Homo-oligomer: A and B are copies of this chain.
Amino acid sequence: MPRKPAYDRDALIAQARDLFWRQGWAGTSLKDLENALKLKPGSFYAAFGSKDALYALTLERYADEGVARLEALAQELGPLGALKTQPRLVVEAANAPAKACMLAKTYAELSAKDHDLAQLAAIHLSRMKACFADLFRQAQAQGQIGLDHDPERLATRYQSDLLGLRLSAERGDVDARQIAADIAADLDRL
């Protein structure tokens, strides 16, 4: 009896993610979303409930894809290889909406007001950090990294470096590829 929606929900979430990623939470109005997603207000709210609910979906999508990409990279290059390659890939990603990490941008924008979305971003950041720690642990188990290092600490530092790199990569007067190379080189000295 029912009628199917005319839109591809997954594609809309991806489009919304790109908008939010580039422009931030406050910087993206419903008018922006309606124009980009080609949805009138009524359809928008029927589909997603609210701006914040859609934003949460895009955060989820962003984090999931990030983890999946890193794990695929580790399958191909091994744990240390993935960690060493990731910084360069992030900087060279040409068709990404932005260089900076969407989770970090969200947290930076909204944490001061204790917004729910800031907490959600923090959760996903922790997930990513745990993912890094796993890779460092695997690298240790495979003898690629000395056992005298704490994987959690390495992961914390690595994530911090990556956040700085990705923020720097947004700037025009910074050679982010140099930074990426230096971060990768640091991993060789472990």
Chain A positions near chain B (C-beta within 8 angstroms)? 22-24, 26-27, 98, 100, 104-105, 107-113, 122, 125-126, 129, 153, 156-157, 159-165, 167-168, 170-175, 178-179, 182, 186, 189
Q: Which residue of B lies closest to A182 (CB)?
A: B157
Quick one: which of B107, B156, B178 contacts A157, CB cutoff 8 A?
A: B178
Q: Assuming A156-B178, A160-B164, A162-B164, what are 12 further A-B pairs, CB within 8 angstroms? A: A23-B113, A24-B26, A24-B108, A27-B109, A98-B112, A122-B171, A153-B175, A156-B174, A160-B161, A161-B161, A161-B164, A164-B164
Chain B positions within 8 Å of A171 at CB level? 107, 122, 125
Let me know if B112 and A22 touch, CB within 8 A. yes
Tell me the complex Cα distance, A164–B90, Å.
15
- Which residues of chain B come closer than 8 Å to A182, judged between CB atoms? 153, 157
A182 to B155, CA, bound (A): 12
A105-B112 Cα distance, complex, nearest whole Å = 12
A104 proximity list for chain B (CB < 8 A): 167
In the bound complex, do residue A167 and residue B164 qualify as a contact, i.e. CB atoms below 8 Å apart?
A: yes
